Amino acid sequence: MKAFSNLLMASIVAVSVGAAIAFSADDAASEDSLLFGGKLPAGYRDWKLISVAHEEGNLNDLRAILGNDIAIQAYRQGRLPFPDGAIIARLAWSYVPSEENNKVFGRVQSFVAGPPTNVQFMVKDGKNYASTGGWGIAQFNDGKPFSIVVSDCFSCHVPVKDRDFVYTRYAP
């Protein structure tokens, strides 16, 4: 379980959103699982686009990183650190070849979003998450809370401390 947890951790850290998440029943049951009241943030699927990414390896997904208005405004203004209330969402879908697209190309080169995998959120709250750079982090699987950040994951974010611990850059 430890190796699995570490693998997932490393994956998620490098994911663009830079979310650090521990995957254990204990964490999911902690009081932090009440982030967003244990529900998906309202309207997140309508948020504006920050960027897109692809992870190979075990994750093998395509992803979109969206931001609420506070996060988007901070990105566009180059404002760091992100202000309280900023939320960054990382949506991911299985990475699947598109047969109908490839037929037109005459070769396998087109990959599209398949079934969704999970959604992760980073919410900036300097007071409540002071020990993790001011970021509370949560993952939802099938719309249900799956895990939340624990402080021992946070070291993976230090390399991008100068960007307020956020990996994803805004795509113009």
Cis, peptide link before residue 81, omega less than 30° from 0: yes
- The CA-atom distances, in angstroms, between 76 and each of 17, 107, 159, 165 are 16, 38, 22, 17
Q: For residue 141, which of 2, 31, 8, 14 has the smallest C-alpha distance?
A: 8
Q: Which is nearer to its own copies, 29 or 52 (CB)?
A: 52
Cβ at position 155, least distance to its own copies in Å: 10
Cβ at position 28, least distance to its own copies in Å: 23
Cβ at position 66, least distance to its own copies in Å: 7
Provide the 10 A C-beta neighbour count for residue 32: 18
- Distance, in Å, from the CA atom of 141 to the CA atom of 57, rounded to the nearest integer, reads 20
Q: Which is nearer to its own copies, 107 or 127 (CB)?
A: 107
Q: Which is nearer to its own copies, 130 or 151 (CB)?
A: 151
- Distance, in Å, from the CA atom of 44 to the CA atom of 70, rounded to the nearest integer, reads 13
Q: Which is nearer to its own copies, 31 or 43 (CB)?
A: 43
Cβ at position 160, least distance to its own copies in Å: 7
Q: Which is nearer to its own copies, 28 or 44 (CB)?
A: 44
Contacts of 68-71 spanning 24+ positions with Cβ under 8 A: 68/41, 68/44, 71/124
Residue 58 CB partners (closer than 8 Å, separation 6+): 7, 11
Cβ at position 45, least distance to its own copies in Å: 8
Give the binding site for its own copies (CB under 8 A). 10-11, 13-16, 45-46, 48-49, 51-57, 59, 62-64, 66, 91, 93, 95, 98, 100-113, 116, 156, 159-160, 167-169, 171-172
